[in-house]
Structure 1
Amino acid sequence: MDYKSLLCILTDSELSNVPLQQGISLAASRDAHLDVLALGVDRSQTGYFYAGADALLMQEMLNRAHEEADAIHSKAEAALRNAGIQWGCDKGVAQIADLGRHVAARARFSDLVILPKPYGKDRGTELEPTLEAAIFEGQAPVLMVPDTSTPMTSPKKISIGWNESAEALVATRAALPFLKAADVVHVVVIDPPTHGPNRSDPGGLLSQFLSRHGVKVEVDVLSKTQPRVSDVLLRHAADADIDMLVMGAYGHSRFREAILGGATRNMLEHATIPVFLAH
């Protein structure tokens, strides 16, 4: 399997360049088709306006969403016309409460969805539900690219955050095209259980599975020396000069992670390298 149908969903013109260029680079290197969806988000609904907001204000928000979609669409088309790849570019408007339906309808027919970092300064509230809709409703793997990352075609050093969960295994399987092309893949195990069938060989079965696919694997067993698992993974990534991190998404419920935090949310907030996610 390879990534032949790529999807880039853009909801903010200011954040569109990095994921768009990443999509173009992957499409060119893999002879893939890149679809771009330019979405203007209409927030004129209950919960975003006080009672009594008039129709003129709601129409203004709708007009603004259309203008945003037009701006993103024009910018994307300008970049795609000279990219030398197979591409398509559509635009539309969605209310934020209905965003998931629009995202999922496109994501479920894509091999990989490329999205910007959902958390940080000057980011809209639609970025988080866009990513979650692609992963959950769309059942597609997501490549999250931070603003500072440069387009990559085939990451040479990859780490896998491995905790023996179903989510981590799904993400690893989905990332196989990247893993097989890498120079080295680090299976990172943090505080392995002292009891259980794999306690004497943490990460061993995953390494065996990957090596049979021709993946060059190293197992790194680390102690949780920092409060959050994501911090340990990111420190290891910096120390090992990792190009991309693979991890299962939302092992806990999204509600729990939103309120209490979790490895996925913390990683999406603080990652400085591309993160490959699947659930």
Structure 2
Amino acid sequence: MAYKTILTVLSNETQTAQLDAAIAAARKEDAHLEVFCLGVDHAQAGYYYAGASAYVFQEAIDKALDAAEQLEKFVRGKLEAEEIRWSTESAVAQVGGLTTLIGMRARFADLVVLGQPYAESAPAEAEAVTEAALFEGSAPVLIVPEGGLPQNFGNKILVAWSQTEEAMTSVRRALPLLKRAESVEITVVDPSPNGPERSDPGGALSQMLSRHGVNVEIAVLARTLPQTSDILSQRATEIGADLIVMGAYGHSRFREAILGGTTRSMLSKSNLPVLMAR
């Protein structure tokens, strides 16, 4: 399997690192790049008193339409100079309607490239877009840090292994990258001695990947820091990894939003690209 359709979703012209990363990924994979330009109507009808003028709603829609058209024009100007296959589309939606709109497009993409949803420069709807691609689109999502993709992206990959369904799904979706990597490390943090792999954490996964020709090693780490995300980030730095592959949202989105979790922490802090799936 290869990534032959790559989707990225933009809602303003400041998301240049994300767009550049999507272009680079399409070039690397010899894939078709789809750029979805989003105009977001932030006016929620439920917030207006009964009898409010229809002009209020129409003005919000007009602004969103104009923003989407301007963004698509900007994207076309950038892509016309690129030697890749590409297409653009624009649409307008209210924040509450993003889920279906993004999910339907992500469903037919092999890979979705997005920016960090919790970065300071991220647009307000970034979190909703990311979750729609992961949950409604069931697509693997490559989260790109503000600095963009590393120069040797995909050479050294850290796989965060936790014996969960989400972790296994992420590995399967990352296979095209894992097979081309120079080296892959399966990193297991504080595995349970009573878990399904018991005394051989990561062993079965290592065997599976080796049969695909992946150059793989296993590292079992103690819990030396309070958060798993911090341990993974520290390990990635130590081994010179340029990509982290991990499962997304082992807990509910609501629980992670309120209490925090590995997914949310990685999406907030990581200075490396992270490929997530569930």
TM-score scaled by structure 2? 0.95
Paired residues for 1:194-233 under 5 Å: 194-233=193-232
1:77 partnered with 2:67: no
- Cα distance in 2, alignment partners of residues 261 and 133 from structure 1: 19
- Cα distance in 2, alignment partners of residues 258 and 11 from structure 1: 23
In the TM superposition, residue 197 of structure 1 has moved relative to its aligned partner by 4.2
1:103 partnered with 2:119: no
- Cα distance in 2, alignment partners of residues 152 and 178 from structure 1: 15
Q: Secondary structure at the match of 2:186?
A: strand
Q: Secondary structure at the match of 1:2?
A: coil
- Cα distance in 2, alignment partners of residues 14 and 247 from structure 1: 27
Aligned residue in 2 for 1:93: 92
In the TM superposition, residue 152 of structure 1 has moved relative to its aligned partner by 5.6
RMSD of aligned residue pairs (Cα, Å): 1.6
Aligned residue in 2 for 1:186: 185
- Cα distance in 1, alignment partners of residues 150 and 225 from structure 2: 30
- Letter aligned with residue 180 of structure 2: A
- Cα distance in 2, alignment partners of residues 223 and 192 from structure 1: 8
- Whether contact under 8 Å (2:7, 2:36) holds in the other structure is yes
Structure 1 unaligned blocks of 5 or more: none
Paired residues for 1:1-279 under 5 Å: 1-15=1-15, 17-46=16-45, 49=47, 51=49, 54-150=53-149, 154-279=153-278
Q: Secondary structure at the match of 1:149?
A: coil
Q: Secondary structure at the match of 2:159?
A: strand
- Cα distance in 2, alignment partners of residues 247 and 241 from structure 1: 17
In the TM superposition, residue 187 of structure 1 has moved relative to its aligned partner by 0.5
Q: Secondary structure at the match of 2:130?
A: helix
Deviations 1:167-224 (A, max 9, x none): 0000000000000000111101000112234221111111001000000111111111
Q: Secondary structure at the match of 1:14?
A: coil
- Letter aligned with residue 87 of structure 1: W
- Whether contact under 8 Å (2:11, 2:71) holds in the other structure is yes
Aligned positions, number: 277
* 88-97 vs 188-197, greater mean Cα deviation: 188-197
Q: Secondary structure at the match of 1:272?
A: coil
- Whether contact under 8 Å (1:18, 1:151) holds in the other structure is no
Q: CA 1:133/1:19 → structure 2, altered by over 3 Å: closer, same or farther?
A: same
Deviations 1:61-82 (A, max 9, x none): 2222122212221121111111
* 62-71 vs 221-230, greater mean Cα deviation: 62-71
* 61-70 vs 72-81, greater mean Cα deviation: 61-70
- Whether contact under 8 Å (1:11, 1:39) holds in the other structure is yes
Deviations 1:139-185 (A, max 9, x none): 11000101112366751010011000000000000000000000111
* 53-62 vs 210-219, greater mean Cα deviation: 53-62
Q: Secondary structure at the match of 1:58?
A: helix
Q: Secondary structure at the match of 1:13?
A: coil
- Letter aligned with residue 76 of structure 1: V
Q: CA 1:147/1:71 → structure 2, altered by over 3 Å: closer, same or farther?
A: farther
- Cα distance in 2, alignment partners of residues 90 and 153 from structure 1: 30
- Whether contact under 8 Å (1:25, 1:153) holds in the other structure is no
Q: Secondary structure at the match of 1:64?
A: helix
- Whether contact under 8 Å (2:114, 2:130) holds in the other structure is yes
- Cα distance in 2, alignment partners of residues 30 and 153 from structure 1: 14
Q: CA 1:234/1:256 → structure 2, altered by over 3 Å: closer, same or farther?
A: same
- Whether contact under 8 Å (2:153, 2:242) holds in the other structure is no
- Whether contact under 8 Å (1:26, 1:152) holds in the other structure is no
Q: Secondary structure at the match of 2:7?
A: strand
